[in-house]
Amino acid sequence: MTKTDISLALNSKYIPLVQKPSCCNVTCLQMILYRRGFGLFDQQELAKFFKINVGKDEVKSFNIKLDVYVATNNDEGLKTIDSEKIINQFFKEKNINLNAKAFIYSKISNLKEFLIENIKNNNDLWLEYKTHKIHGDKLIHDNVIESVKTISGKTKITLVDPYWEYKPRLDISIEDLEESISDKFGRETGFIVISKK
């Protein structure tokens, strides 16, 4: 490794968990809370709290009643980047000493430095992105970021993914990440940063 090479990972890694349909978002929250020692929260109860919308053919996958979405890339699941308030409300109701803050891509001046700073501080980076470039699908999806490394000028990010058809860990380039959170494939997305209060 040269002086400009870096390799940073969260202090205690994620245990990959598998999502129910349309529940990538609350499964990411489950992984964050479990990594931080708050135990394992029931995915269906989280889906109910966060008012997750599911497909009409997905209703049968749940023991609880959830609303049905109109169309994919419209109102399915949860618009994570717009959920800072309800996430903080959840933390308050459950007496969890964490804070959520949303960062949309266009407001991040230097993505690499943003990632490095948050990983150094052991903050969770809950990512909402479009799957077009990374997975070849045309959906909006959530992951968490576990590490960032730069070797010979190339920066790679390790995603931890709850979707049952994707690998639980995947290294992607920072360029692919930038395209996936920009407005190139639809609405701009970004991150919810979870930190200690």
The pLDDT tens digits of the residues spanning 131-145 come to 999 999 888 899 999
* The predicted structure's pLDDT at residue 43: 96
Residue 153, judged by CB atoms within 10 A of its CB (0-12, 13-18, 19+), counts as exposed
The residue-averaged pLDDT of 91-104 equals 98
pLDDT of 76 above 70: no
Asked if CATH classification 3.40.50.720 holds for the domain at 6-196, the reply, yes or no, is no
Which pLDDT band, with edges at 50, 70 and 90, does 178 fall under?
A: very high
Whether 15 and 35 have beta carbons less than 8 Å apart is answered as yes
Q: For the ranges 29-43, 74-88, 159-173, which has the lowest average pLDDT?
A: 74-88
Contacts of 70 (CB under 8 A, 6+ apart): none
- In this predicted structure, what is the pLDDT of residue 127? 98
Query: What is the mean predicted confidence (pLDDT) over 5-21?
Result: 96
Name the pTM for this structure. Answer: 0.94
In the numeric block, the tokens 């919308």 are attached to: 53
Helices and strands, number each (H, E), in the chain: 6, 7
Contacts of 169-172 with C-beta under 8 Å, sequence gap 24+, read 169/16, 170/134, 172/134
Comparing 71 with 139, the larger pLDDT belongs to 139
Using DSSP's 3-state secondary structure scheme, residue 91 falls into helix
Could you report the per-residue pLDDT of 43-64, keeping only the tens digit for each?
999 999 999 988 889 999 999 9
Mean pLDDT for 76-85 is 83
Residue 72 — very low, low, confident or very high, per pLDDT cuts 50/70/90? low
Reference 163, options 197, 131, 124, 118; nearest CA is 131
Q: What is the pLDDT of residue 186?
A: 85
The residue that leads in pLDDT, 72 or 175, is 175
Residue 9: per-residue pLDDT: 97
Residue of 171 and 183 predicted with greater confidence? 171
Label residue 3 by pLDDT band (50, 70, 90): low
List beta partners, residue 125: 145, 193
DSSP helix/strand/coil, 21: coil
pLDDT at res. 69: 83
Mean of the per-residue pLDDT values for the chain?
93
